[in-house]
A and B are shown apart, each in its own frame.
Chain A
Amino acid sequence: AQSVTQLDSHVSVSEGTPVLLRCNYSSSYSPSLFWYVQHPNKGLQLLLKYTSAATLVKGINGFEAEFKKSETSFHLTKPSAHMSDAAEYFCVVSGGGTYKYIFGTGTRLKVLA
């Protein structure tokens, strides 16, 4: 079975400061992991994905995530937050021959001016 836990439902940062959104996963197989972003009243957009290549994955808009198997984590980071980063972020796990993608409950990022 697979599952994913997003450790914070809300995160607030000041503009220009680093962003850290935490995600832990559970999987009986080598997982594929994704981060998606959803801006208000919009659909979901892929930020980045990990599929067993490099453990440090770079995505769009300056985001990156590091796959740590020993810690079963896939945290999302960005060095400097921008107002446009305010959105909800979802960590997703899949793999093991399944067609299913399991979503975390989301982290809402607020960026303060």
Chain B
Amino acid sequence: DAGITQSPRHKVTETGTPVTLRCHQTENHRYMYWYRQDPGHGLRLIHYSYGVKDTDKGEVSDGYSVSRSKTEDFLLTLESATSSQTSVYFCAISEQGTGANVLTFGAGSRLTVL
């Protein structure tokens, strides 16, 4: 998956517990994104980053926070997981954020909240 690693790939957790998903890239791309994929909804943007310590909200950001302390790492945290956050989470990177640049995706992280 072109220099993008997501971890963990699978996680089962209980309601109310904190969860952190990690996205690591070796491409030195400036832009990083977290999406969630749910049946019937396609992919929806949670948060994105346009540089170290520069992040912004997407369309479904409630209940999620992110951090980017290094170019290569973008962390997604669920402070208190809920069953509605059961989903497949994809990290993506883009060299530039002009919209003409291709998004490259990681393999995904499947999260189940019981």
Contact = CB atoms under 8 A, between A and B. Distances in A.
A106 B33 contact: no
B48 A43 contact: no
Contact of A32 (B31, B42, B48, B100): B100
A94 B100 CA distance: 7
Contact of B98 (A34, A97, A103): A97
Contacts of B105: 36, 43-45
A94 B102 CA distance: 10
B90 A44 contact: yes
A7 to B, nearest CB: 13
Contact of B100 (A6, A36, A95, A104): A95
B44 interface: yes
B49 to A, nearest CB: 9
B99 A105 contact: no
B60 to A, nearest CB: 12
A98 B59 CA distance: 14
B107 interface: yes
B99 A32 contact: yes
A9 B99 CA distance: 25
A96 B100 CA distance: 10
Interface of A: 6, 9, 31-32, 34, 36, 42-46, 49, 51-52, 90, 92, 94-106
14 contacts: A34-B103, A43-B106, A43-B107, A43-B108, A44-B103, A49-B102, A95-B99, A99-B94, A101-B92, A101-B103, A102-B45, A103-B35, A103-B42, A104-B42
